[in-house]
């Protein structure tokens, strides 16, 4: 038991630093090759920061742990808004651009409803996975067109600037950092899942509970750490818009890729397994910021308390149901 806990913590650290190295190395390499910052932000940085969720879901899918893969996406999306945004707002109120209210959150909610359509029959096929991947390509292109027509805005749903990323020197160091990052994320995901399953097996809880809680928190750790540090420095580089973009990536790119690799079957059924309730919680949590920012486009400290209380209540529900 103690060894598994240590391995789980090691897996978390490998995921965190692996994602950071991957983003730094690939962004520096892309920049040195003459790629525009906006393109780097919309592709390299966006995929790099979603690497923990992507690899964990892929590994879970290949191991036949489909409930961990799906639970990781739903749990991570709930965690990003309720926990990460809530804790960040508690440190420093978050001002967001009107486009987040008018465009980005509605897009996220539309994609969330599409997830209900593709998973309502308790099975996500390769074709449905392909439709999700195709949608993320369209989403990236749409954001690129929007970003090129307007000035770079840090409140946008996807990162358009990479000036905050500390550059890496020569080409060899960049490639070495990329390889180290990939190794860290892949091995970290493997260690995290294996140790989490062994730990939770001792307590007799389900794969769904593991995915919705401990794995989801672990894969959201980079966003949480970055957001809190930014709040303490009063440099709100990670905004509501970026978290919304992360949630969109989780559904379209991460779950889509997992279904492409191995079609996802929801054991017990979408409703009977209780996953439908978790889905509705994700939808409700995703919609809450609409009401918070509709007048002042600001997530206040009080809003942060509400979000954190919501996350605490959801965790209490999961524990009682486990």
Comparing CA positions, the residue from 190, 198, 202, 231 lying closest to residue 93 is: 231
pLDDT band at 38 (very low <50, low <70, confident <90, very high): low
CB 83 within 8 A of CB 308: yes
Percent above pLDDT 90 for the chain: 26
**How far apart, in whole angstroms, are the C-alpha atoms of residue 178 and residue 186?**
12
Q: Which phi and psi (to 5°) does residue 168 adopt?
A: -105, 145
Domains of the chain from N-terminus onward: 2-158+165-321 (1.20.1420.30)
Q: Is the pTM above the cut of 0.85?
A: no
Read off the pLDDT of residues 246-268 as tens digits, 9 standing for 90 and up.
Answer: 889 899 999 999 999 889 988 88
| Mean pLDDT, range 214-229, rounded to an integer | 76
Name the DSSP class of 267.
T
The 3-state secondary structure of 53-93 reads HHHHHHHHHHCCCHHHHHHHHHHHHHHHHHHHHHHHHHHCC
CA–CA separation, 212 and 214 (whole Å): 7
List the single range of 159-173, 279-293, 299-313 with lowest mean pLDDT. 159-173
- Residue 237 has what pLDDT? 47
In degrees and rounded to multiples of 5, residue 32 shows phi and psi of -70, -20
Q: Distance between CA 21 and CA 39 in Å, rounded?
A: 19
Condensed to tens digits (0 to 9), the pLDDT of residues 54-67 reads: 888 888 888 888 88
Average predicted confidence (pLDDT) for the chain = 82
Q: What is the pLDDT of residue 39?
A: 58
What is the separation, in whole angstroms, between the first and last Cα of the chain?
Answer: 20
pLDDT in the model for residue 163: 47
**pLDDT value for 285:** 95
pLDDT band at 201 (very low <50, low <70, confident <90, very high): confident
What distance in Å separates the CA atoms of residue 134 and residue 128, rounded to the nearest whole number? 10
| 288 band by pLDDT with thresholds 50, 70 and 90 | very high
Which residues, including other chains, have CB under 8 Å from residue 193's CB and lie 6 or more apart? 11, 56, 59, 60, 63, 65, 68, 215
Q: What pLDDT is stored for residue 186 in this prediction?
A: 78
User: Residues 299, 305, 310, CA angle at the centre, nearest 5°?
Assistant: 105
Q: Can you tell me the mean pLDDT for 182-197? A: 81
Helix (H) or strand (E) segment spanning residue 20: helix 2-32
164 vs 195, more confident: 195
Report d(CA 240, CA 264) in Å as an integer: 30
Q: Which residues of 229-242 are buried (b: 16+ CB within 10 A; e: fewer)?
A: ebbeeeebbbbbbb
Confidence of residue 126 (pLDDT cuts 50, 70, 90): very high
């Amino acid at each position: 038991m103690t060894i598994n806990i240590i391995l789980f913590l090691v897996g978390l650290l490998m995921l965190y630093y692996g994602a950071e190295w991957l983003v730094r190395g690939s962004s520096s390499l892309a920049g040195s090759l003459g790629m525009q910052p906006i393109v780097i932000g919309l592709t390299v940085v966006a995929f790099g920061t979603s690497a923990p969720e992507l690899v964990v879901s892929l590994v879970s899918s290949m191991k036949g742990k489909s409930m961990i893969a799906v639970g990781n996406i739903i749990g991570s999306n709930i965690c990003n808004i309720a926990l990460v945004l809530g804790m960040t707002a508690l440190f420093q109120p978050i001002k967001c651009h009107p486009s987040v209210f008018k465009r980005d959150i509605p897009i996220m909610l539309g994609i969330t409803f599409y997830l209900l359509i593709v998973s309502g029959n308790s099975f996500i096929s390769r074709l449905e996975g392909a439709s999700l991947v195709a949608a993320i390509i369209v989403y990236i292109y749409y954001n690129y067109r929007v970003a090129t027509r307007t000035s770079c805005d840090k409140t946008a749903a996807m990162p358009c600037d990479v000036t905050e990323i500390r550059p890496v020197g020569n080409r060899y160091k960049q490639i070495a950092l990329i390889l180290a990052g990939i190794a860290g994320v892949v091995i970290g995901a493997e260690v995290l899942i294996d140790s989490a399953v062994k730990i939770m097996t001792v307590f007799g809880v389900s794969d769904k509970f593991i995915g919705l809680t401990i794995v989801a928190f672990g894969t959201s750790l980079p966003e949480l750490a970055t957001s809190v540090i930014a709040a303490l420095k009063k440099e709100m580089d990670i905004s509501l818009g970026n978290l919304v973009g992360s949630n969109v990536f989780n559904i379209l790119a991460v779950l889509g890729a997992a279904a492409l690799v191995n079609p996802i079957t929801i054991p017990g059924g979408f409703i009977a397994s209780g996953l439908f309730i978790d889905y509705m919680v994700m939808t409700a949590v995703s919609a809450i910021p609409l009401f918070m920012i509709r007048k002042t486009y600001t997530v206040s400290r009080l809003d942060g308390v509400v979000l954190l209380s919501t996350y605490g209540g959801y965790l209490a529900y999961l524990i009682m149901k486990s």
